[in-house]
């Protein structure tokens, strides 16, 4: 049996007609960036998240960059974030001229550990940038308590957290500025690049709209130096089709996660499966296990037709690009251990139960051959 890590073709099959008709509609009206499709998507996504404002942009990285700028982060500032994330989280901080400062994460949720934020604070700290990693929610209550004491802004990296619930409410509805990505592989993905910022602050939303469009207030009136980070109409039209399916897709992912848990839960000696705390409901963007003999398991699974990936093999503080910050191996033991041990298993709505059973059987077989 073949179980690819990921199968976007299967997803397209269920929505092909609507995707093709939205393609035709956008080609027909000949406006390709911004415009009606983008506005409609912004309204729909704001409403989905339970946020008053949504500003659509051309990628999740752009969303992070502009959210930081809109909150006035720049040269000389420090922003606290976590070392176990996609590189763009820290990169966006660097774009503004500010410095990323890392704090270690919690071993159970993989999110930034609020207790580790306080020792990282300096007079230059302006913001905290938690990541809802793999679709798990970071502990926003604890993070906001630290932020409030020190008058810091909280900007959420919600690139992986479409539809994730924290204490029963969607990520994006907590009165912070939250940044989403619609990279094709994300839980809600475009057929190309896309991103969005959601916020409850009208002033920030206005600033974001100008920043993404050359600092223009209206045509030919440039108030400051901005960017061309506009969303394409086509992507907005595609995303509107897919947004209607999002809850259904998340439900399917959650069902798959429960099955993995049932089938792998007894391998405790070798494999640690994610167990949701009562505080959140993951969208299971990534189904990451912690496991022994990871590299060998990867080859074993591959030789049996099963795709897997490692998110993320090198924590950001140990990347060459951030050598100048002076971090060392051992600075963030939890994040470093996760980087060595986590493995992402196939997870997408269209997976069949038989495929998940096959993956679980092969993992059982691997550990049995190896250790018993």
Ligand X SMILES: *Cc1c(COP(=O)(O)O)cnc(C)c1O
Which residues, 6 or more positions from 276, have their beta carbon under 8 angstroms from its beta carbon? 136, 282
Instruction: Assess 335 for contact with ligand X (CB under 6 A).
Output: no
Provide the residue count of the chain: 372
Instruction: Assess 109 for contact with ligand X (CB under 6 A).
Output: no
Task: Give the nearest distance from C-beta 41 to ligand X in angstroms.
Answer: 15
Total number of residues binding ligand X (CB under 6 A)?
15
Spatial contact of 359 and 345, defined as CB atoms under 8 Å apart: yes
Instruction: Assess 99 for contact with ligand X (CB under 6 A).
Output: no
Q: Between 193 and 213, whose beta carbon lies closer to ligand X?
A: 193
Q: How far apart are CA 205 and CA 210, in angstroms?
A: 9
Task: Give the nearest distance from C-beta 286 to ligand X in angstroms.
Answer: 9
Q: Between 24 and 313, whose beta carbon lies closer to ligand X?
A: 313
Strands (E), 231-279: 271-272
Task: Give the nearest distance from C-beta 179 to ligand X in angstroms.
Answer: 7
Instruction: Assess 195 for contact with ligand X (CB under 6 A).
Output: yes
Task: Give the nearest distance from C-beta 112 to ligand X in angstroms.
Answer: 12
Q: How far apart are CA 199 and CA 345, in angstroms?
A: 33
Q: Between 131 and 306, whose beta carbon lies closer to ligand X?
A: 131
Q: How far apart are CA 86 and CA 62, in angstroms?
A: 14
Q: Between 62 and 308, whose beta carbon lies closer to ligand X?
A: 62
* DSSP 8-class letter at 322: G
Q: How would you list the strands of the sheet with 280-281, edge to edge?
A: 169-170, 165-166, 280-281
* Residue whose CB is nearest to ligand X in the complex, by number: 60
Task: Give the nearest distance from C-beta 60 to ligand X in angstroms.
Answer: 2
Candidate list 46, 79, 105, 131; residue touching ligand X; CB under 6 A: 131
Instruction: Assess 22 for contact with ligand X (CB under 6 A).
Output: no
Candidate list 11, 85, 199, 290; residue touching ligand X; CB under 6 A: 85
Q: Between 173 and 235, whose beta carbon lies closer to ligand X?
A: 235
Between strands 165-166 and 169-170, the pairing is: antiparallel
Q: How far apart are CA 10 and CA 22, in angstroms?
A: 19
Task: Give the nearest distance from C-beta 131 to ligand X in angstroms.
Answer: 5
Q: Between 83 and 358, whose beta carbon lies closer to ligand X?
A: 83
Task: Give the nearest distance from C-beta 195 to ligand X in angstroms.
Answer: 5
Q: How far apart are CA 19 and CA 10, in angstroms?
A: 14
Q: DSSP per residue over 152-185, as a string? A: -EEEEE-TT-TT-EETTEETT-SSSEEEEE--TT
Instruction: Report in angstroms the alpha-carbon separations of 176 from 87, 150, 226, 266, 359.
Output: 22, 15, 22, 39, 39
Q: Between 67 and 359, whose beta carbon lies closer to ligand X?
A: 67
Instruction: Assess 81 for contact with ligand X (CB under 6 A).
Output: no
Task: Give the nearest distance from C-beta 161 to ligand X in angstroms.
Answer: 9
Task: Give the nearest distance from C-beta 185 to ligand X in angstroms.
Answer: 8
Task: Give the nearest distance from C-beta 197 to ligand X in angstroms.
Answer: 12
**What is the C-alpha radius of gyration for the chain, rounded to an integer number of angstroms?**
21
CA-closest candidate to residue 315, choices 78, 60, 82: 82
Q: For residue 69, give the 3-state DSSP assignment.
A: helix
Q: How far apart are CA 7 and CA 99, in angstroms?
A: 37
Instruction: Assess 86 for contact with ligand X (CB under 6 A).
Output: yes
Candidate list 53, 60, 70, 152; residue touching ligand X; CB under 6 A: 60
x/- mask, ligand X, residues 144-183, rule CB under 6 A, reads -------------x-xx--------------------x-x
x/- mask, ligand X, residues 220-259, rule CB under 6 A, reads ----------------------------------------
Q: How far apart are CA 70 and CA 48, in angstroms?
A: 23
Binding site for ligand X (CB under 6 A): 59-61, 85-86, 88-89, 131, 157, 159-160, 181, 183, 193, 195
């Amino acid at each position: 049996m073949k179980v690819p890590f990921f199968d976007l073709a299967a997803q397209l099959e269920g929505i092909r007609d609507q995707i093709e008709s939205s393609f035709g509609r956008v080609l027909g009206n000949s406006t390709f960036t911004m415009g009606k499709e983008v506005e409609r998507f912004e309204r729909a996504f704001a409403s989905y998240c339970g946020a008053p404002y949504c500003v659509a942009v051309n990628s999740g990285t752009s969303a992070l960059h502009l959210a930081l700028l809109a909150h006035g982060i720049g040269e000389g500032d420090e922003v606290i974030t976590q070392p176990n994330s996609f590189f763009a989280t820290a990169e966006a901080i660097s774009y503004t001229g500010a410095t990323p400062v890392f704090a270690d994460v919690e071993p159970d949720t993989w999110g930034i550990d609020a207790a580790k934020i306080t020792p990282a604070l300096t007079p230059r700290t302006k913001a905290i940038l938690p990541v809802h990693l793999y679709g798990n929610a970071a502990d926003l209550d604890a993070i906001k308590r630290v932020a409030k004491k020190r008058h810091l802004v909280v900007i959420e990296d919600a690139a992986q957290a479409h539809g994730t619930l924290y204490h029963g409410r969607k990520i994006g509805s907590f009165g912070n500025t939250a940044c989403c990505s619609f990279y094709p592989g994300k839980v809600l993905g475009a057929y190309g690049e896309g991103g969005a910022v959601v916020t409850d602050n009208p002033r920030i939303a206005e600033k974001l709209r100008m920043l993404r469009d050359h600092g223009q207030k209206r045509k030919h009136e440039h108030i400051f130096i901005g960017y061309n980070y506009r969303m394409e109409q086509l992507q907005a039209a595609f995303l509107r089709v897919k947004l209607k399916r999002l809850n259904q897709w998340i439900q399917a992912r959650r069902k798959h996660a429960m099955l993995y848990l049932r089938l792998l839960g007894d391998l405790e000696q070798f494999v640690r499966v994610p167990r949701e705390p009562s505080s959140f409901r993951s969208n299971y963007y990534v189904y990451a296990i912690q496991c022994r003999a990871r590299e060998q398991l990867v080859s074993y699974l591959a030789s049996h037709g099963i795709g897997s990936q490692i998110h993320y093999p090198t924590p950001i503080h140990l990347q060459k690009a951030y050598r100048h910050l002076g971090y060392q191996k051992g600075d963030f033991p939890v994040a470093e251990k996760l980087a060595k041990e986590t493995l992402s298993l196939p997870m997408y709505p269209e997976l069949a139960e038989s495929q998940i059973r096959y993956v679980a059987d092969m993992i059982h077989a691997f550990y049995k051959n190896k250790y018993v």
